[in-house]
Amino acid sequence: MAAPREPIYLGRETYRRRRLIDAVRLLPVAGALFFLGPILGSGAGPRSTALGGLYVFAVWFGLIILAAVLGRWLAAAPTGVGSDPLENDVPDGVEPEREGR
Amino acid sequence: MNSNLLISVSLVYVAFLFLVAFGADKWARSDRGSWLRSPLVYTLSLSIYCTGWTFYGAVGYAARSGLEFVTIYLGPTLVMVGWWWILRRLVRIGRAQRITSVADLISSRYGKSNLLGVIVTLLAVIGTTPYIALQLQSVTLSLAVFRAEDAGAVAAAAEQPGTALWVAIGLAVFTVVFGTRNLDVNERHHGVVTAIAVEAVVKLVALLAVGVFVVWTLAGGPSDVARIIEESPISAWQIDGGRWAALTFLAAAAFLTLPRMFHVLVVENVDERQLATASWAFPLYLFLMSLFVVPIAAVGLARLPDGANPDLFVLTLPLAEGRDGLAMLSFLGGFSSATSMVIVAAIALSTMVSNHIVMPLWLSFRRGGASMSGDVRNTVLIARRVSIGGVLALGYLYYRFSVGGEALAAIGLISFTGIAQVLPAMLGGLFWRGATRIGAAAGLVAGFTVWSYALFLPSFGATVFSPELMAQGPWGVDWLRPQAFFGIEGMDPVVHALVWSMVVNTTLFFIFSLISFPTPLERLQGAQFVNVLEHAQAGRGWTRGGAEAEDLLIMAQRIMGGGEAQALFRNEAADQGKSGYLPDTTPEFLERLERELSGSVGSATAHAMVGQIVGGAAVSVEDLMAVADETQQMLEYSSQLEAKSEELARTARKLREANTKLTQLSVQKDAFLSQISHELRTPMTSIRAFSEILREGPLEAEAQQKYAGIIQDEATRLTRLLDDLLDLSVLEAGQGALNIQQTNLHNVIERAVAAAGIAGNGLRLGILRDTTREDVAIETDPDRLAQVFINLIANACKYCDATDPKLTIWVSKQRGRLMVDFVDNGSGIPPEAETVIFEKFSRLSDHQKAGGAGLGLAICREIMDKLGGAIAYLPGQGGAAFRVSLPDKADGDARGPAQPT
């Protein structure tokens, strides 16, 4: 049996939500790149701990703010914060369909 | 400061935690406990990541290697921020499959394999024991600091083992009381979680208080702190790129795989809202926890005498400044960090030990089966309690025999690396359906072995691995040196062990997964796990077996408790439409029962217990095929039904259409009848009237002649009308035989023009033709076709209102059809009339002028239908235009000779 295909075109709302989810997905990748940034050119010699600390903590805080903002936007969906319009969601507390016989 | 006071305060604090846990448990049972499930409590409970190692050790770490300590927090930050990738899946799976621990996750994913459960449990116990020892050590050390204030020397006081023992016992009691109160893990430990949340607040407040004190009181402000950092020994940040990246990765991996983190992240999770909030709130917590670490370290290095243990700066700095209250708060913070970690770790480990080691052993010793005898519920609880005691005892023993061996942070990293070995099997299981049990086992065992050999055993120092072995390798095999595999020297030991263990682990995991073949249950579970987001449907594991519902009920009562088991069975029976407590043992029911049980004793044990009663009939390939067949049949049946209902709908639609048509026809028939009577009556009326005049009296010959002429005209008209009607009815009834023959279009048109000229009152109509285009061979009934043409030409004669009327006859070919257009230069037919001109008795101008019955075009249409062609009105040609289209059957040899005009 062929797997159900994803729709090719999505409604505007759905489209926006998918892009929001993309942003959520991208966040840790961006965070990892920024956190690994100090490695670049680290062979040249020691740096200032105070400035390095400022950099790391600034990136960290920025990441937290972004995650909070994206999380808030995600929560605006009527189907809940964790729902992806392309997934067949089973809402919390609802047992799988076949339980009902 | 009096250490007795400190101990009293600690005891009061512990009593307070007991009260909190007790109250939360009570709240949770009543309906007022919804705030216990709030995202805030969840986030705070995650803070058990920050253990005593973090609380004290981070400052020590910073004092030794500067900023590197922060990697331990960056990894979890990335995991939390990227919750959409992994944590969301984990939480969904945890809920759908009732996962009770990380060992249960691995075991359940790979076909409910108990072997994997045992491996992961052992790995977790070995990896966590040093960590528990570490917490005991941190509590003891911090107490020793206060004792030293009394006695004078830290070292002397640290040698008092009694403290650690009492702490261990106290923690064991707390964990047993609140961690094994209820059996069903899905009911969640609200008491424990709430107590941990309170401890999380205490340790954050404590560390922030010390930080604020250090920055604004001791140093004099942020800029002064920056200056102090620049002047301290850690001012230069000599970043080790390999360690930086490896430790970030390691912390992220451990965050997912540590049993205690898995417990609070997945098992205690209630819904995804918690996760979404924690995705930023927990990184914020970590951020705040590490904000003041470097300042405290720098100020501590600057102000405290050389040789002071940097691991205890958080405590000794306030003490040295005489801030006893702050020191007390700081101590409570460290105490909270240590105890909360130990409590959750003990719960998580005891769940794993009892579900994957004790229960399977117990089951195998009781060959009689799970339903035969003994209270399983009690056994599980006792197993858990004993396991908690055992885990803490192990931690204590480890602490006793390795005390003073390592700096705090080093043990932490070793422990992290060990437990991170679960990562490949976990992620592979979540994202790759091809991952198999054998692959997972091979990867786990190999990674675990490499870790033990390269990192864990060497950490015991010379007592386990002699210096010669470390320097020259076992039996002098140089490339097997524990910290320089293949002669690659100079790597940091942790990075070395992490890289090699992960490489070996992942490689074997993939290779063995590729070459082994999974069992049906493994494949089912694999699909369940990987596709958890697409369809949250539980996989089928049972076939309709000979399981006795009563046996199952007896067993379930022993595990879940009488009331709940009976409720479950009764609901199931009610769903099946039966009364009483014993439902049919359908596969669905067995499945559901097993899932409920797995919440208490883990999936593998639950599977085994149900298996014992059902008769060990787990799914076979044949069963799967049967299930698939059944599904297929149902699908086919439903598609048949669908087709039938569509057919019915189609028939109904047709019937409706037919009905409409009949009604229309009936209306038409009535209209036709009234038309025809009208048409017949008009000439009849005049015939009767004039014939009566003729009969009644003598008339002048001229009048008589005139009246007889009228009578004759009207009779002729009647005859023509009847002829037309007859013609039409013959055509409509399809009775008129056609005389199909080969002919030439030119001849037909020629004949029609000639006949129309005769029929009309002299040809006053100019006809324009292109005779060469007319030279087309056709196969048709020439008489009938000529009739159509005559009619069209006669119409043009009659109705063309131009002063110099002209008719163009134009032949063309379009898309395989032959078109003959008759276009005059009159005013044409008004658009609203175009649709009705082919209807019977439709006449546009007045009756007398037309001199026909209005059947001409209707007859034309019938004839053209018969001939396989069509006639249509062609609008927009400057006058009335009709297009006759014929099928073009012209073949080269069928072309008849055209007669000259």
Complete DSSP assignment for B476-544? G-GGG-TTSGGG--S--HHHHHHHHHHHHHHHHHHHHHHHS---HHHHHHHHHHHTTTT--PPPP-B-S
**B522 found inside a domain:** no
**B771 found inside a domain:** yes
pLDDT, residue B612, reads 64
> How much of chain B, in percent, has pLDDT values that exceed 90?
12
For residues B116 and B255, membership in a common domain is answered with yes
Distance CA B201, CA B416 (A): 25
**B485 found inside a domain:** no
**Over the stretch B720-761, which tens digit does the pLDDT of each residue have?**
888 888 887 887 777 767 788 888 888 888 888 877 765 555
Question: What does the pLDDT average to over B860-882?
Answer: 83
Interface test with B, best of A64, A69, A88, A92 (most B CBs within 10 A): A64
Distance CA B785, CA B779 (A): 11
User: What is the Cα A77 distance to its own chain's centre?
Assistant: 15
- Domain ranges (residues) in chain A: 48-78
Distance CA B421, CA B433 (A): 20
Q: Which residue has the higher pLDDT, B529 or B428?
A: B428
Question: What does the pLDDT average to over B672-699?
Answer: 82
CATH number (domain holding residue B185):
1.20.1730.10
Give the residue from B393, B45, B311, B79 showing the smallest Cα distance to B190.
Answer: B45
Only one residue has tokens 């920056």, namely: B226
Domain endpoint, select from B369, B388, B405: B405
pLDDT, residue B748, reads 86
**B140 found inside a domain:** yes
Domain endpoint, select from B586, B619, B652: B619
pLDDT, residue B77, reads 93
**B418 found inside a domain:** no
pLDDT beyond 60 at B53: yes
pLDDT beyond 70 at B847: no
Complete DSSP assignment for B265-297? IIIT---HHHHHHHHHHHHHHHHHHHHTHHHHH
CB B55 within 8 A of CB B334: yes
User: CA-CA distances (angstroms) from residue B442 to B504, B511, B603?
Assistant: 10, 9, 21
Q: Are residues B79 and A28, on separate chains, in Cβ contact within 8 Å?
A: yes
pLDDT, residue B761, reads 52
| Position B539 confidence tier, pLDDT thresholds 50, 70, 90 | very low
User: CA-CA distances (angstroms) from residue B97 to A95, B63, B92, B255, B380?
Assistant: 11, 45, 8, 21, 20
For residues B632 and B768, membership in a common domain is answered with no
Strand pairing partners for B814?
B817
| Position A93 confidence tier, pLDDT thresholds 50, 70, 90 | very low
For residues B821 and B743, membership in a common domain is answered with yes
Burial class (CB in 10 A: 0-12, 13-18, 19+), B222: exposed
pLDDT, residue A97, reads 34
For residues B693 and B792, membership in a common domain is answered with no
CB B746 within 8 A of CB B775: yes
**B840 found inside a domain:** yes
Q: How many CB pairs under 8 A join A and B?
A: 136
For residues B652 and B791, membership in a common domain is answered with no
pLDDT beyond 70 at A96: no
For residues B717 and B748, membership in a common domain is answered with no
For residues B258 and B372, membership in a common domain is answered with yes
**Over the stretch B313-362, which tens digit does the pLDDT of each residue have?**
888 888 888 888 888 898 888 888 888 888 888 888 888 888 888 888 88
CB A81 within 8 A of CB B272: yes
User: CA-CA distances (angstroms) from residue B521 to A82, B108, B532, B592?
Assistant: 29, 10, 16, 16
**Over the stretch B69-108, which tens digit does the pLDDT of each residue have?**
899 899 999 999 988 888 888 888 888 887 888 998 998 8
pLDDT, residue A2, reads 45
Instruction: Report ipTM (2 d.p.).
Output: 0.82
Q: Which residues of A touch B535 (CB under 8 A)?
A: 88, 90
pTM for the model: 0.68
Question: What does the pLDDT average to over B615-625?
Answer: 52
Q: Which residues of B touch A87 (CB under 8 A)?
A: 533-534
CB B560 within 8 A of CB B183: yes
pLDDT, residue B425, reads 93
Q: Residue A30, CB half-sphere, CA atoms under 13 Å: how many?
A: 14
pLDDT beyond 70 at B858: yes
Distance CA B743, CA B782 (A): 7
Q: Are residues A39 and B244, on separate chains, in Cβ contact within 8 Å?
A: yes
pLDDT beyond 80 at B226: yes
Distance CA B177, CA B173 (A): 6
| Position B32 confidence tier, pLDDT thresholds 50, 70, 90 | low
Q: Which residue has the higher pLDDT, B160 or B101?
A: B101
Interface test with A, best of B37, B85, B237, B292 (most A CBs within 10 A): B237
| Position A89 confidence tier, pLDDT thresholds 50, 70, 90 | very low
Domain endpoint, select from B701, B732, B763: B732
DSSP helix/strand/coil, A2: coil
Q: Which residue has the higher pLDDT, B539 or B772?
A: B772
Q: Is any Cβ of chain A less than 8 angstroms from the Cβ of B272?
A: yes
Q: Are residues A49 and B237, on separate chains, in Cβ contact within 8 Å?
A: yes
Distance CA A82, CA A72 (A): 12
- Minimal CA separation from A8 to chain B, in Å: 17
pLDDT beyond 70 at B697: yes
pLDDT beyond 80 at B493: yes
Q: Is any Cβ of chain A less than 8 angstroms from the Cβ of B234?
A: yes
**Over the stretch B417-464, which tens digit does the pLDDT of each residue have?**
999 999 999 999 988 888 999 999 999 999 999 998 888 888 777 677
Give the residue from B588, B598, B617, B586 showing the smallest Cα distance to B556.
Answer: B598
pLDDT beyond 90 at B899: no
Q: Which residues of B touch A32 (CB under 8 A)?
A: 78, 248
User: What is the Cα B334 distance to its own chain's centre?
Assistant: 42
> How much of chain A, in percent, has pLDDT values that exceed 70?
63
Q: Which residue has the higher pLDDT, B580 or B386?
A: B386
% helix / strand / coil in chain A, to the nearest 5?
A: 60, 0, 35
For residues B721 and B845, membership in a common domain is answered with no
Distance CA B49, CA B31 (A): 30
**Over the stretch B807-824, which tens digit does the pLDDT of each residue have?**
888 888 877 788 888 888
Least trusted range by pLDDT, from B284-293, B539-548, B667-676: B539-548
pLDDT beyond 80 at B385: yes
For residues B758 and B835, membership in a common domain is answered with yes
**Over the stretch A37-86, which tens digit does the pLDDT of each residue have?**
888 776 667 778 788 888 899 999 999 999 999 888 888 776 666 667 66
Q: Are residues A57 and B287, on separate chains, in Cβ contact within 8 Å?
A: yes
Interface test with A, best of B280, B292, B594 (most A CBs within 10 A): B280
Q: Which residues of A touch B538 (CB under 8 A)?
A: 96, 98
For residues B80 and B228, membership in a common domain is answered with yes
Least trusted range by pLDDT, from B40-49, B200-209, B506-515, B598-607: B598-607
For residues B357 and B381, membership in a common domain is answered with yes
**B471 found inside a domain:** no
CB B385 within 8 A of CB B172: no
| Residue-range definition of the domain harbouring residue B554 | 541-619
Question: What does the pLDDT average to over B50-64?
Answer: 83
Question: What does the pLDDT average to over B892-901?
Answer: 41
Closest partner residue to B67 (CB to CB) among A52, A74, A88 is A52
| Position B537 confidence tier, pLDDT thresholds 50, 70, 90 | very low
pLDDT beyond 90 at B505: yes
pLDDT, residue B186, reads 54
Question: What's the token pair of residue B697?
Answer: 């009296």
CB crowding B668-677: b at 16 or more within 10 Å, else e: eeeeeeebbe
Q: Is any Cβ of chain A less than 8 angstroms from the Cβ of B248?
A: yes
- Minimal CA separation from B90 to chain A, in Å: 13
**B222 found inside a domain:** yes
Question: What does the pLDDT average to over B766-790?
Answer: 84
Maximum Cα–Cα distance across chain A:
69
Q: Is any Cβ of chain A less than 8 angstroms from the Cβ of B228?
A: no
Q: Is any Cβ of chain A less than 8 angstroms from the Cβ of B291?
A: yes
Query: Which helix (H) or strand (E) element contains residue B843?
Result: none
Q: Which residue has the higher pLDDT, B311 or B599?
A: B311
Nearest-by-CA chain B residue for A67: B280
- Mark out the alpha helices in B615-744 (DSSP H runs): 621-696, 701-733
Question: What's the token pair of residue B353?
Answer: 């030990």
Q: To the nearest whole number, what is the mean pLDDT of chain B? A: 80
Which positions ≥6 away from B801 have C-beta within 8 Å?
Answer: B826, B827
pLDDT, residue A1, reads 43
* Dihedral sign of CA atoms B550, B553, B554, B555 in order: positive
Question: What does the pLDDT average to over B562-588?
Answer: 77
CB B56 within 8 A of CB B409: no
CATH number (domain holding residue B681):
1.10.287.130
Which range among B161-170, B602-611, B831-840 has the greatest average pLDDT?
B161-170
Which positions ≥6 away from B492 have C-beta within 8 Å?
Answer: B240, B242, B243, B246
CB B837 within 8 A of CB B844: yes
Q: Is any Cβ of chain A less than 8 angstroms from the Cβ of B66?
A: yes
pLDDT beyond 50 at B384: yes
Distance CA B207, CA B329 (A): 9
Closest partner residue to A31 (CB to CB) among B78, B273, B276 is B78
Going by the DSSP 8-state scheme, the letter that residue B82 receives in this structure is T
For residues B774 and B644, membership in a common domain is answered with no
* Dihedral sign of CA atoms B255, B259, B260, B266 in order: positive
Number of domains in chain B: 4
Q: Which residue has the higher pLDDT, B583 or B621?
A: B583
